[in-house]
């Protein structure tokens, strides 16, 4: 399964069974409710596209931009979810609704597939951000399974032929590296790549990761710049993305987005759920608003039934 077109769910399989339960697990899945990108704060771009849907905790500002061309709506069919304001100067929002928690600033040059909706948000974005941040920390704390070395302007990674490899790389290596060499990596393995450092610039050579189930994790980075595309997911809960070029084929999670880098969908599937040895998550699902209502109604019914039995 490739790393593209991903829906992201950094929660436990047990939590999936009950959205009201906090559970420990070592299953890593990815789900943003069907969205392609989630910026905890703002998402700003002056040109480009996201093939899937966009989530932002605060403001979304788009110009000359296309959204959800692949028709993969989030949380029941939303192409755009803005926790606060939405500014849309020009472009097209396809195949989905637009939710705005604050004020909409719409220009006639921008085409929306459906009217803007307000009221209750389709998901608790703050809870989702907290869960994703916790997951990033848990992944960064894992012991590396692969050995790494930088030399001759390249990065050498030697694995253990396992289904899941944890790879720790110094983010500063990216400044002077243009290619990767892999050894002892199983075909199609899940590669959790922890980039260590407070900033990173991606310059190229990432075609070596094609064919693997890849997560690039930046637990501490506060600034990211992508100057070349790749097939991988990005989890960077503290990072602001600025400038750059190319296409990221995968799900993207950041703190702030100020870039025209394309977030695209490659053919065939998404991030495969895997058991990650040593990983312990304490997370809960982040259901849609209507799901919360059903859960609360169900709890009320259970309580009523219990009281009736006790009285009898």
Strands (E), 59-171: 60-62, 65-67, 78-82, 86-88, 91-93, 97-100, 104-106, 110-112, 116-117, 147-151, 154-158, 164-170
Q: pLDDT under 50 in the chain at which residues? A: 1-25, 266-269, 284-285, 287, 290-310, 312
User: Residue 221: CB partners within 8 Å, gap ≥ 6?
Assistant: 171, 195, 197, 198, 199, 200, 236, 238, 239
- pLDDT attached to residue 270: 53
SS3 state at 233: strand
- pLDDT attached to residue 18: 30
- pLDDT attached to residue 1: 36
CA geometry: angle at 167 spanning 223 and 267, to 5°? 80
| Residues linked to residue 274 through DSSP beta bridges, in sequence order | 28
- pLDDT attached to residue 284: 45
Give whole-number Cα distances, 24 to 259, 275, 283, in Å: 36, 12, 8
CA distance 231 to 208: 9
- pLDDT attached to residue 220: 96
**Residue 258 neighbours by CB distance under 10 Å:** 17
Span 85-129, pLDDT tens digits: 999 999 999 889 999 999 999 987 888 888 899 999 999 999 999
- pLDDT attached to residue 202: 87
CA distance 243 to 48: 12
- pLDDT attached to residue 297: 46
- pLDDT attached to residue 107: 86
Is this structure's pTM higher than 0.95?
no
Query: Between β-strands 281-283 and 60-62, what pairing exists: parallel, antiparallel or unpaired?
Result: unpaired
The enclosing H or E element of 45 equals strand 43-45
User: Residue 73: CB partners within 8 Å, gap ≥ 6?
Assistant: 34, 53, 79, 95, 96, 97
């Amino acid at each position: 399964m490739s790393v593209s077109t991903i829906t992201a769910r950094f929660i436990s399989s047990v939590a999936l069974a009950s959205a009201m339960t906090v559970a420990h697990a070592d299953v890593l899945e990815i789900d943003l409710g069907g969205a392609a990108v989630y910026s905890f704060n703002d998402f700003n771009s002056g040109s480009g596209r996201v093939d899937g849907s966009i989530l932002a905790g605060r403001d979304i500002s788009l110009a000359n931009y296309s959204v959800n061309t692949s028709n993969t709506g989030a949380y029941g069919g939303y192409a755009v979810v803005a926790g606060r304001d939405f500014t849309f100067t020009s472009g097209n929002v396809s195949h989905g609704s637009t939710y705005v928690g604050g004020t909409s600033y719409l220009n006639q040059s921008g085409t929306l597939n459906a009217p803007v909706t307000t009221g209750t948000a389709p998901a608790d974005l703050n809870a989702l951000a907290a869960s994703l941040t916790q997951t990033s920390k848990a992944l960064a704390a894992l012991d590396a399974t692969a050995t790494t070395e930088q030399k001759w302007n390249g990065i050498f990674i030697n694995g253990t032929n396992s289904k899941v490899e944890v790879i720790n790389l110094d983010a500063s290596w990216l400044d002077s590296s243009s290619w990767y060499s892999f050894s002892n990596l199983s075909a199609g393995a899940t590669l959790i790549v922890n980039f260590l450092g407070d900033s990173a610039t991606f310059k190229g050579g990432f075609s070596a990761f094609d064919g693997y189930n890849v997560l690039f994790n930046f637990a501490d980075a506060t600034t990211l710049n992508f100057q070349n595309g790749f097939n991988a997911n990005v989890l960077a809960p503290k990072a602001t993305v600025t400038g750059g070029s190319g296409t990221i084929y995968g799900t993207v999670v950041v703190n702030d987005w100020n870039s025209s880098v394309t977030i695209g969908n490659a053919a065939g599937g998404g991030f495969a759920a895997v058991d990650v040895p040593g990983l312990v998550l304490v997370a809960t699902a982040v259901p849609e608003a209507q799901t919360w209502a059903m859960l609360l109604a169900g709890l009320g019914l259970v309580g009523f039934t219990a009281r009736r039995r006790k009285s009898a």
